[in-house]
């Protein structure tokens, strides 16, 4: 049940909780529900803000991309630039297919879209939130908002004392940090002996100062090859590209921003972006351009585009960038202009000056070192009784539902492990 301020203070005088969940997000609720369903009795979720599962609510434009329909654990783990090898242990116990069944059995109907992303059939993130809250409350999980955990101490009898900024005290046998990328969670983990990998932004768009690109704002290109060059390293990927009024977005950009998150941070987000508009090799593209000149010479460049994927607006932009008159006939194209066209279509370079104005649900790369956590149970290898789930760990995935899947998996594993400890003690 939801606790008011007055009710919360009253509960502090009761016997220790069996589990305290710090953080009322996706991972925290999954942990609490799983533990409660497997026998853990006294559970409370402590959320520092006034809102529960806010990231779930805003994700996917309000639709909530619950997971990705990659059922094979090895294939699923490949979508995490950091933590993928460790996650393979976790996904072999609870992967995307298990999560799909978990929600459906609890009343949330899901659907798989053409790009493998999984959403609620209702296309409403509120239904995901309602499902988790309903199952938590039904199982007796207490929920307290506006309880910002400031300090955690482990006592000599292996209990955890939890204090907020108002010096309220809660005692628990087991505790899990599910605080997402918020610095407070990292601070708490560090106070309990853990190392923190410096958090940096992940999943973001790119800004360029090329104002002429505004003419192509809204243009979307399918399955294009992209490369970024940063700090003497090169990162490549393929996917859909969206040109915006500030620069570049779309799945392929978000993927690359995740893969190269640390290198881009170190370079203060100043780097070169290279777009390969054509999959043809230099020789084949040159032959195609020459054939256009020979066989379609009477047509103007603006009326005959060399690649089907180039929209008219984009083609005009590229011609202007190449300083080639769009009204010139193909037969009048000079050899130097043909060479410039080929090189641009194969290696079109842009200078990126910063991150875009929006982050994809505020995903970060960094957090509690994964080498200090048992990924079979999500328990700390340093502080027994302390568990972790979700983005508080140095784990992050590319766009497409993968970050939520890590939250669900780690929360489920932690909930199961805590319930096993609880039942062993109870049955003694």
Q: Is the pLDDT of residue 210 over 60?
A: yes
Q: What is the pLDDT of residues 282-299, one digit of tens each?
A: 999 999 999 999 999 999
Question: Which of the two residues, 360 and 384, has the higher pLDDT score?
Answer: 384
pTM: 0.87
pLDDT at 85 over 60: yes
User: How many other CB atoms are found less than 10 A from the CB of residue 141?
Assistant: 23
User: How confident is the model over 354-373, as a mean pLDDT?
Assistant: 84
What's residue 362's pLDDT?
66
Model pLDDT, residue 54: 95
pLDDT at residue 15 greater than cutoff 70: yes
**What angle do the packed helices 335-346 and 282-295 form, to 10 degrees?**
130
* Range in 71-75, 162-166, 320-324 with the lowest mean pLDDT: 162-166
Contacts of 40 (CB under 8 A, 6+ apart): 18, 19, 415, 418, 419, 422
Is residue 5 pLDDT above 70, yes or no?
no
Cβ proximity of 314 and 344 under 8 Å: no
Grade residue 14 by pLDDT with cuts at 50, 70 and 90.
Answer: low
Task: Examine the pLDDT at 1 and tell me if it is beyond 50.
Answer: no
Nearest Cα residue to 43 out of 26, 29, 55, 54: 29
Strand order in the sheet with 67-68: 67-68, 117-120, 110-112
Q: What is the mean pLDDT of residues 161-184?
A: 94
- Structure confidence by residue, pLDDT tens digits, 108-134: 999 999 999 999 999 999 999 999 999
Average pLDDT, integer, range 200-211? 90
Mean pLDDT score, 44-60: 95
All structural domains of the chain, each given as residue ranges with its CATH number in brackets, are 2-200+364-426 (3.50.50.60), 204-359 (no CATH)
């Amino acid at each position: 049940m939801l606790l008011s301020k007055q009710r919360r203070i009253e509960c502090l005088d009761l016997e220790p909780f069996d589990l305290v969940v710090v953080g009322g997000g996706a991972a925290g609720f999954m942990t609490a529900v799983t533990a409660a369903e497997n026998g853990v009795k006294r559970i409370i979720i402590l959320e520092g803000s006034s809102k529960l599962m806010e990231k779930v609510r805003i994700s996917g434009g309000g639709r909530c991309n619950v997971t990705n329909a990659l059922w094979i654990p090895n294939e699923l783990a490949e979508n995490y630039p950091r933590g993928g090898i460790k996650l393979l242990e976790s996904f072999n116990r609870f992967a995307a297919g298990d999560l799909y069944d978990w929600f459906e059995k609890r009343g949330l109907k899901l659907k798989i879209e053409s790009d493998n992303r999984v959403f609620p059939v209702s296309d409403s993130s509120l239904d995901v939130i309602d499902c988790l809250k309903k199952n938590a409350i039904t199982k007796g999980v207490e929920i307290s908002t506006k309880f910002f955990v400031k300090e955690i101490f482990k006592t000599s009898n292996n209990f955890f004392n939890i204090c907020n900024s108002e010096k309220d005290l809660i005692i628990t046998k087991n505790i899990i940090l599910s605080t997402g990328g918020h610095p407070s969670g990292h601070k708490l983990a560090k106070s309990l002996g853990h190392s923190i990998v410096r958090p940096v932004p992940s999943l973001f768009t790119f800004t360029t100062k090329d104002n002429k690109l505004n003419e192509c704002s809204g243009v979307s290109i399918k399955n294009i090859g992209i490369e970024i060059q940063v700090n003497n390293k090169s990162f490549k990927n393929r996917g859909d590209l969206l040109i915006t009024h500030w620069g570049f977005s779309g799945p392929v950009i978000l993927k690359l921003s995740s893969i190269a998150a640390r290198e881009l941070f170190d370079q203060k987000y100043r780097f070169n972006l290279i777009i390969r508009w054509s999959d043809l090799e230099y020789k084949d593209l040159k032959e195609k351009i020459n054939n256009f000149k020979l066989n379609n010479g009477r047509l103007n460049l603006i009326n005959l585009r060399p690649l089907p994927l180039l929209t008219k607006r984009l083609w005009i932009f590229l011609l202007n960038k190449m300083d080639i008159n769009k009204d010139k006939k193909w037969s009048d194209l000079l050899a130097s202009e043909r060479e410039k066209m080929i090189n641009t279509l194969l290696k079109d370079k842009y200078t990126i000056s910063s991150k875009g104005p929006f982050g994809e649900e505020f995903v970060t790369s960094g957090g509690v070192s994964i080498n200090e956590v048992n990924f079979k149970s999500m328990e700390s290898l340093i502080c027994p009784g302390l568990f972790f789930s979700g983005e508080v760990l140095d784990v992050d995935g590319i766009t497409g539902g993968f970050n939520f899947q890590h939250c669900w998996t780690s929360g489920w594993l932690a909930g199961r492990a805590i319930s096993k400890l609880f039942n062993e003690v109870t049955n003694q």
